[in-house]
Amino acid sequence: MADDRPILMFDSGVGGLSVLAPTRALLPAASYVYVADNGGFPYGTKSEAEIAARVPALLGRLVERHRPRLVTIACNTASTIVLAAVRAALDLPVVGTVPAIKPAAEQSVTRAFGVLGTDATVRQPYVDDLSARFAADCLVLRHGSARLVELAEAKLRGDRTYVDDYRAVLSGLLDQPGGERIDTVVLACTHFPLVAEELAAAAPRPLRFVDGGPGIARRIAHLTQGQCWPKAPSGEAVFTAPIETSDALRSALASHSLDRLSIL
């Protein structure tokens, strides 16, 4: 029996595409609604109170409109602040996004790794808890970068970005005391895997970059196991404010099978 309910993915911008890609690879028969809250972008420089006031209410409207089978908050910043509140408010599964600290600790040979996220994410107690639970024997350094979010958005718009910008972001992490030991970097913002190649090219030495996208995809697949899917899967990109979509952005969305665009 066909089930037309989509999987809804939510982010402040295009970063959640790094979660959508591995999810679609596991669940190609699903329909997807990808929501970019460009009306509230960026989240990483906002206060916890601002995000807590905005995101649950917005997700409530989106669930009412699209009637999804599952919601994914494909945003580290929002997840670390509102995940519990959203789960309490919505009567359906809600998957959050957390920094990939456990896999980084498992992979780091030098027992030193960095957490590269937004300012709002890297200061959350949740990061302290994950580090204590899974990386107690590691040096864990953090750096918050709003600039890297802008670079990822610019790349998908088709704008040119420069290696010096990526090098400056990495310097904020690697130039800290002990930074010379880092061999692994957690990309703790869903925007950042979109520019992982640029970061690798700008790095002063080989680094391993890890992110939570594949793990989130596996969680979504587990929660939807055994469910029916639509006869004709669809993909829609929803923006919360008017936006000028460049050819490059439309092409990027279409590459994720998000063929329809709409404004909330």
Active site residues: 75, 189
Supply φ then ψ for residue 99, to 5 degrees.
Answer: -60, 140
- Residues 30 and 22: their CA atoms lie apart, in Å, by 13
CB 60 within 8 A of CB 90: yes
Q: In which order are the strands placed within the sheet that holds 208-210?
A: 139-144, 112-117, 184-187, 208-210
Look up tokens 């099978």; give the residue.
257
